[in-house]
Structure 1
Amino acid sequence: MTRSPSVLSLALPALVVLAAEPLYLLVDTAVVGNLGTVPLGGLAVGGALLAWAAGLLNFLAYGTTARAARRAGAGDRTGAVAEGVQATWLALALGLTVLVLFQLLAGPLTRLLAGGPGAVAVAGEQWLRVASFGVPLLLVSLAGNGWLRGVQELRRPVRYVVTGSLVSLLLCPFLVHTVGLGLIGSAFANVTGQALTAALFVRAIAREGVGWRPRPAAVRAQLFIGRDLLLRAVVLQVSFLAAAGVAARAGTAQLGAHQIALQLFFFLALVLDAYAIAAQTLVGHALGANRPADARSTATRVGLWGLGTGLLVAVLLLALRPMLLPLFTDDPAVLAQAEVVWWFLAGMQPVAGVVFALDGVLMGAGDVGYLRTVTIGAAVLGFLPLSLLAGPLDWGLAGVWTGLCLFVALRLVGVLVRVAGDRWLTAPATVGT
């Protein structure tokens, strides 16, 4: 019998893919930042809108992984690759729709996010109109990541994503400064890298020799999974926006500290999400091969990996706090507020590690309907009420971050209860094929 790959051997390549885009954005921000505050503000506005759209549609990776892994586990590699073909068609359709919407609404959206008309809104609109041509390409890459993860090939996505990111990294300063395109050069570099990455993923499917004919039933089944993951993502976005609004009303120092801690939370979530991707692949294969005991064993292993990594991250955050915080700000008021939030950020990491890992277990089993319900319930009962009450009750950032901690804790209870039972082992991941 073929030995299953280890959790770590799948998680490490996944982490590289997850980290490539944020690291590129950091370099892009540094390059554009040398142009001045207006181009930097335009990049922030346009980039936020693009990231928001990509975040809502990342079900193309997660949903495809679950379905492809189930087929690959059953010995049907052709069927697993076919899931990638259908996901690619869906990615193109959704990407072109988003592209058209951004071309029509770029002006109003950037003015809304920039707080009204002005130089920053104009710069953001110009950047978004060019960069949005990369949306269909980005979604095609998400679909490609999905089916390759499903067949337990995680090294190829690393090569493809890193290749595209390196091209963007080299082009960005060249187009922005050497050629003199300014902010628009950043957008062209972004699209060029995404085009190369998408082309590599499409070539990978073409080499498998699977037909390219669209199959409406398979696309509908992927949309069925996508609907639940999309609703889940929308609730998450609304919750974080509400928390940011409360922090902004509390004061400039509170907002600055909240932004620092939140960006660290998102970055650390990428690290812990690598276990979720490994879990998806392993659980999907085990259930596809009708080995529920292996799926349950995987749930235990990734949960422990998530817990251990979360504990390590918490210790490092607390130990390195005196060195890390000054890297973000030297404002005494912001530092004082960040000190308060830091304890919440560190304390939630072990819990978040288990939650994210077990999220991947349930996604791999196709149990996304339950995940949707748990996430929405935890947001409505925990995150949103405490965040919104933090303002009128003068709880400040402590109230907002207590809400975030409760949100993660409620999700932990929900996923532990589910994984302890048996229903997730029979979730219909391949409905509609």
Structure 2
Amino acid sequence: MAFTLLALGVLGLLGSTTLFPLLAPILHWRLSRVLPNPDSKRNQRENGARKLTIAIPTCGEVEALERTLQSISYAIAYAHKHLTVHEISIELLVGIDGSAPKALLRAHQFQARVLSSDKRAGKWRMLERMTRHIEGRSSAFSSSWVIFADVGVEWPKDFLLSVLSDMKDPHVVGIAPAYTIRDSSLIQRSVWSIERSLKTLENFSGGPVSVHGATVGYRIDALIRVFDFCVGKEYANDDVVLPLLIRTLNPSKVIQYRGDVAVIDTESTEVGSDERRRTRMLIGNTKWVQDLYPFVLRTNPLVALIALRRVFRILWAYWIGSVFLGGGITLVALSWSVFIELSGVERLAVTIASGGAVCTLAIVLALVCEQLISAAKVSLLGPWYWGKSNSSIGKIWK
């Protein structure tokens, strides 16, 4: 039993991390040898980016919106100093979901165009509305891009200059920068450092199929195709569903992950708690796996293989638990033969010392790793949420 638990846990952890990013380039290479590129001739004639819209969806946060608008305005001004007006036009669009007069005022103060609605429809609907609005204003949307930026995110001043070169590549349909959190803990920095390495590895097989929604750019025509495909549906995890379907529906195109360019999340807590956010992510993940993964598997096996890492990550707490439980059983079995040779006093001393060590470790983990414990609790609920109907989850923002 101990070996089975260890094997299951190790396999799960590998599936959550390096296994599929390492296998995907092999499949990518094999497919590139046997399948023609139907877009090769068209790509040679296709223009690079000519118009960029920076779209900020919000449900009414004011202070976080102002920070983001200020940061992006600096980045736009910096880009204008180094670009000619004929290279690319850049505009700012704020989408306000629900009645939020103060947010509307802030957007106008930064000369941003505004899309607003009286009733809250959810982030997915706002993203779709903003995308179709941009499409309607563009005469050649195949050369138009949108960068979605969450409220609370801040850009380095040279961010736009760093990613514009990728937008000019006709084979690129998406750009995802690295993600950092201001004043993050050691655990958070470690997690995102690992994630950065894994997404960089996924570049060798056409790019990631899940990104961080704090900032991500897409070609408008590819985005329209996804929203047309999802007509009548809505998803909470746009940071997974959009890149997943963009790569699935555009097999010869890539999403470029830029691990060398990072945006900063100021981690605003104006909307929702951390546990609520994690629960929303969990429910959203189970929904897209059930709704979309069979289609992805039939249509684009490479993307389906890369997406398996995300599927395995849903149950990451079970994999770690299996490793610890299997390792603990093995350790107890190996130690028992030594323990029974001890005298009564020695056994009592070892038992007290071991119990004290376990209690101390539990207290330290509870105090230092509160976020990790909260995340593990949500992961353990994964099987319970699987198959449940959550039709309103797409209306939740965070």
TM-score, L = length of structure 1:
0.30
The structure, 1 or 2, with the larger RCO (C-alpha pairs under 8 Å, 6+ apart) is: 2
Give the strand-richer structure, 1 or 2.
2
